[in-house]
Copies of this chain bind each other. A is one copy, B any other.
Amino acid sequence: MEFGSIDEQLAYLTKGCVDVIRPEDLKAKLLRSAGTGEPLTVKVGFDPSAPDLHLGHTVVIRKMRHFQQLGHRVVFLIGDFTGLIGDPTGKKATRPQLTPEEIAANARTYERQIFKLLDPERTVIDFNSRWLGKLSSADWIRLAAKVTVAQMLERDDFRKRYEAQQPIALHEFLYPLAQGYDSVALECDVEMGGTDQLFNLLVGRQLMRESGLEPQVVLTLPLLEGLDGVEKMSKSLGNYVAVEDPPFEMYGKLMSISDELMWKYWLLLTDRTEAEIEALKTGVATGQRHPMEVKKELAATIVTELHGPSEAAAAAREFEKVFSNRQRPTDIPEIELPSPGARSLVSRIVASAGLAGSNSEARRLIQQGGVRIDETRVADVKAEIDTSPGREYVIRAGKRRFAKVRFIDTT
């Protein structure tokens, strides 16, 4: 990737960012780096206990990649300091301490995922227990002396909890300090995180300044909406695309987003520049491009990066076959079910085949017209089919779930 001017670099690095503190400092650092050939150090912290990444996480990982594309060095910092000591809040349900082995295993899981996007040559995976674990009592007192209680209570979530008289354990005030100290220890040039991390990132800036270091530049990135376009993407809400989702599932999920949300995904989940994205938008607005085609390009771009071009092409062909041409996919899982007798409710079979999470979800799907048997829509929630041993059906639930079900005799 070639970027002629520092201003072009600055635009690329800050595209999609919410806070940039401060652009002129980042420009100065880029200029100095260009002059000396010394790459910038860019830090992002990650939770040591939950290494399953979805596309929401890749927004900042992709931003790390942008810095790498311009020759800089990124530190993928696993915050194992807290993991090693366990979360001490809540005496009844204390979060168990992670063992060094578990932390190492989680780090390997991270590696497997992030190196789909990051260049291993320009990535340092580090652990903050290396320096935080070594701080002495005196170090902690000195560190705590650098911030005020009022400053901590200005942090949005702390302030809300304090005003609502919800308890804030005192050690929670120490974590932003610990995170800030990471920046001192690493002498970071840049730290990035979600917009909810702004306060912590600024503490790092403050501690670096007070330690006589040039303060880090702070970049925050928006929290990505999930497939529903409303809630933040999260595993628990089910509106996510996992980095390790298989190609066809990933492609199909991405095709399900709204045309409006698509532009945000283009901005935050691809390396396209803002100018390039504007050109696509113009194409759609003037009718030169169909939005569905542009969305397919988005899905293919993302699947290509995470799985490779041939997997993306196969997913696109499969998608055409199933949805655009209303054909069945080539690779339908075959399931054998014990015959429940001569006849049985379709809803029960849908649930037994794993195509719905429960009988009630299966009934809802049927009511919504989302269940087909051998490509015939099931119209009635009370519909029954012949489930004698030897009978076979292709059942489809929703747009993308298929199963070939065969009833067997288990008597």
Query: Which residues of A112-149 have CB atoms within 8 Å of chain B's CB atoms?
Result: 132-138, 140-149
Q: Contact: B150 with A149, CB < 8 Å? A: no
Number of A positions contacting B (CB below 8 A):
38
A134 to chain B, nearest CB (A): 7
Q: Which of B133, B152, B170 contacts A144 (CB 8 A)?
A: B170
A153 within 8 A of B: yes
| Known interface pairs A152-B170, A174-B140; A88-B145 also in contact (CB < 8 Å) | yes
The stretch of A160-168, A188-196, A242-250, A378-386 that contacts the partner chain: A160-168
A178 to chain B, nearest CB (A): 8
Q: Contact: A177 with B170, CB < 8 Å? A: yes
**A138 partner residues in chain B, CB cutoff 8 A:** 84-85, 133
A81 within 8 A of B: yes
Q: Contact: A170 with B145, CB < 8 Å? A: yes
A87 to chain B, nearest CB (A): 8
Q: Contact: B169 with A147, CB < 8 Å? A: yes
* Most chain B beta-carbon contacts within 10 A, residue among A165, A167, A170: A170
Q: Contact: A170 with B171, CB < 8 Å? A: no
A89 within 8 A of B: yes
| Known interface pairs A133-B137, A134-B137, A135-B137; A170-B142 also in contact (CB < 8 Å) | no
A263 within 8 A of B: no
| Known interface pairs A148-B167, A162-B150; A141-B84 also in contact (CB < 8 Å) | no
Q: How many subunits of this chain does the assembly comprise?
A: 2
Q: Contact: A137 with B81, CB < 8 Å? A: yes
Q: Contact: B142 with A153, CB < 8 Å? A: no
A173 within 8 A of B: yes
A191 to chain B, nearest CB (A): 21
Query: Which residues of A246-305 have CB atoms within 8 Å of chain B's CB atoms?
Result: none
Residue of B nearest to A153 (CB): B149
**A158 partner residues in chain B, CB cutoff 8 A:** 149
**A141 partner residues in chain B, CB cutoff 8 A:** 82, 85, 88, 171, 174
Residue of B nearest to A210 (CB): B91
Q: Contact: A148 with B169, CB < 8 Å? A: yes
Q: Contact: A168 with B149, CB < 8 Å? A: yes
Residue of B nearest to A135 (CB): B137
**A143 partner residues in chain B, CB cutoff 8 A:** 171
The 4 A-B residue pairs with the shortest CB-CB distance, nearest first, are A88-B145, A144-B171, A144-B170, A85-B138
